[in-house]
Structure 1
């Protein structure tokens, strides 16, 4: 395959990936295609073409779609290949930006966060391991369960 054909195929795959991601986020939010199109200020056919990978939306359209989905535009930009994934991510950024935390508190929070991420990554790579909470974990109280649902 010639370099020009490879580049064209890569762009088409990026369009498909962003379309799949938008469709998944729309379904997770339980929003119809028409509702999202209206919220984002785009036409139904255009949004449908984006979801099917036939069109590659501009950064401005992605921002409008993100607003309609109530997700970060950055997440869509990363999926579309406009931005590169940041190492820290939004959790790290939020902790570091909080003016009410001391530097020591920030570091402790980030250490705990990273340990949870490492633990989850390790458990997802071990074959035969159940996903979810470890057997020794206490069941969530009803109050804690409700708080999780609201987040």
Structure 2
């Protein structure tokens, strides 16, 4: 059977699966696809739908957009730097999953601050703080007091009561 133009995708999926230390069967179960079908995708014999790619990406904890580009669903030139940056962060075996998500949140925050849009595939699920929302500090390096706490002003947050 002649190989479709998805060999690069299959090789990439196999590499990501091995990096995640998953067997073909484990990934197929996690993605909700059959073991033989996933095997054919990895060997470049089948071209998966965007939906299947999204399920596989979720199971591998990688960007679905990266898989879309590799499968030819998205234009490879579109946001190439963003896709590659995300892929490098997510593929780094020296980082924990939490560290990867924090880095992606920071990256997304900077992109938004510079006028670039957010992700379309929902890769970063946690709320990203708005630029400048980090806790401010006083001259001594201690956290600055929140306005309104001591002065009795309304900061619309929960209040502690004695007792």
TM-score (norm 1): 0.55
Residue 42 in structure 1 maps to residue 20 in structure 2: no
Quick one: which of 81, 88, 91 aligns to 2:72? Answer: 81
Structure 2 residue runs of 5 or longer lacking an equivalent are 87-106, 114-129, 134-163
Which residue of 1 is the match for residue 131 of structure 2?
100
Q: Report the CA distance between 1:88 and its aligned residue.
A: 4.0
Which residue of 1 is the match for residue 6 of structure 2?
15
Which residue of 2 is the match for residue 69 of structure 1?
60
Which residue of 2 is the match for residue 51 of structure 1?
42
Structure 1 residue runs of 5 or longer lacking an equivalent are 1-8, 103-151
Structure with more relative contact order (C-alpha pairs < 8 Å, separation 6 or more): 1
Q: Tell me, what secondary structure is at the counterpart of 2:6?
A: helix
Q: Tell me, what secondary structure is at the counterpart of 2:111?
A: helix
Aligned length: 92
Which residue of 2 is the match for residue 121 of structure 1?
none
Q: Report the CA distance between 1:17 and its aligned residue.
A: 1.2
Q: Report the CA distance between 1:18 and its aligned residue.
A: 0.8
Larger fraction in helix: 1
